[in-house]
Copies of this chain bind each other. A is one copy, B any other.
Amino acid sequence: MSERAPELAFKAAELDAGDQLAPVRGRFVLDDAVYLDGNSLGALPAAVPGRVEDVVRRQWGELRIRSWDESGWWTAPERIGDRIAPLLGAAAGQIVVGDSTSVNVFKALVAAVRMAQEDSGDARDEILVDATTFPTDGYIAASAARLTGRTLRPVTPREVPGALSSRTAAVLLNHVDYRTGRLHDLPSLTAAVREAGAYAVWDLCHSAGALPVGLDAHGVDLAVGCTYKYLNGGPGSPAYLYVRHGLQERFDSPLPGWNSHAEPFGMRPSYEAAPGAVRGRVGTPDILSMLALEAALDVWDGVTIEAVRAKSLALTDFFLQCVAAQVPEERVESLTPLAHAERGSQVALRCADAGDVMERLVERGVVGDFRHPDVLRFGFTPLYVGFGDVERAARVLGEVLAR
């Protein structure tokens, strides 16, 4: 196997030399490790520490409450939503940032059920949920079903078209599977859900910032996602909620906090929802985490999501090629589809002793993560991962597995 190592290293250098995104790496704080865990926690953008220091020392420390207006704190959720929008193929005014992904799944799913009920009454008594989902979505969907008197039915994304019926109220799907890295067919699944008269809620945690989503183009109803993976917002940075323009007037939140009120400082006893995406807000936004995210989004200046996607596929192609060349065949099995149309920006390798193997990789400066019980996960963030990193990661994996 290892006889091909020099050729792969040469190929990596060639690919790096032709990589137009290579200079973007300089916008991050990185070290000598190969960081392939940006699908769990994105690396630190270099602009963030200074911005956070300004937010803490000047905006909070000196201006204090004046910053709610003067430093733009109050409008941050929708302003930062508009910064994320182009990366998701969404026009402005449809995304607000805040709360966790789980909380946003809850808002979106309950609101979807309410719209279905408005359309069709109680006949639509079923919520379909991706059976392969990151578990929290399933737990929250079960809660939404319980509170709205609907039945939850777990199905694989492939089974969704056959499971849709006049009983379907809403469908909660993942764009990219967190475990296998499989990319699901958002355009056709969305079309099928809409055709059935139901509402689609997409979880974009593992696709946002890694590949084009095309929310507006594909008529997605509602979407949520986190910002700490490929959007590099920092640990636990706030999530977002997308509600397409055409549904905003009907978006009836189960968490109608005062930040979503038409007149939040009117202190009125009765609730009246604000127009637009703002009605997806709830309570006071966590400003430090939110403005760190805003600074982190500067790394996207001049970068298109199409260029990121092209490099992402080239990186994962090359990784699979290097693994095939350098890792004993019987030791790992790729769970990630070979077809580009079915691949996100990660490669998942099944490996019997994955937990131990990942520990040894990390010791050798190759950082991926381990998903119970037997998966090695490698995420490829095109903004800061190069082809030389890919070659090294596969080579070290081969060394570890050959022992």
Report whether A283 and B102 are in contact in the complex, using a CB–CB cutoff of 8 Å: yes
Q: Which residues of B contact A238 (CB under 8 A)?
A: 286
Q: How many copies of this chain?
A: 2
Which residue from B73, B102, B134, B237 sits with its C-beta under 8 Å from A286?
Answer: B237
Residue numbers in B under 8 Å from A110 (CB-CB): 147
| Count of chain A residues near B, Cβ 8 A | 79
Rounded to whole angstroms, the CA-CA distance of A68 and B40 in the bound complex is 11
A104 → chain B closest CB, angstroms: 9
Nearest residue, chain B, Cβ from A179: B267
Say yes or no: A258-B288 contact (C-beta < 8 A), given A61-B29, A101-B283.
no
Q: In the bound complex, how far is the Cα of B37 from the Cα of A154, in angstroms? A: 50
User: A135-180: which have CB < 8 Å to B?
Assistant: 135-136, 138-140, 142-143, 147-148, 154, 179
Interface residues of A (CB under 8 A from B): 29, 31, 35, 37, 40-41, 43-44, 48-49, 52-53, 56-57, 59-62, 64-65, 67-68, 73, 99-103, 106, 110, 131, 134-136, 138-140, 142-143, 147-148, 154, 179, 226, 228, 234-239, 253-259, 261, 265-269, 271, 282-290, 292, 367, 369, 371-372
Which residues of the other chain, B, contact A255 by a CB distance below 8 angstroms? 102-103, 106, 140, 143
Q: Which residue of B lies closest to A272 (CB)?
A: B139
Assess the B100–A284 pair: CB atoms within 8 A. Answer: yes
Complex contacts, A138 vs chain B, CB 8 Å: 269, 271
Instruction: Name 30 interchain pairs, CB-CB below 8 A, sorted by A.
Output: A29-B61, A35-B64, A37-B64, A40-B65, A41-B60, A41-B64, A41-B68, A49-B56, A56-B292, A65-B367, A65-B369, A99-B100, A100-B282, A100-B284, A100-B286, A101-B284, A102-B255, A106-B254, A135-B268, A138-B269, A140-B257, A143-B256, A147-B148, A179-B267, A235-B284, A236-B286, A267-B371, A286-B286, A286-B289, A287-B289
Complex: A258 Cα to B106 Cα, angstroms = 13
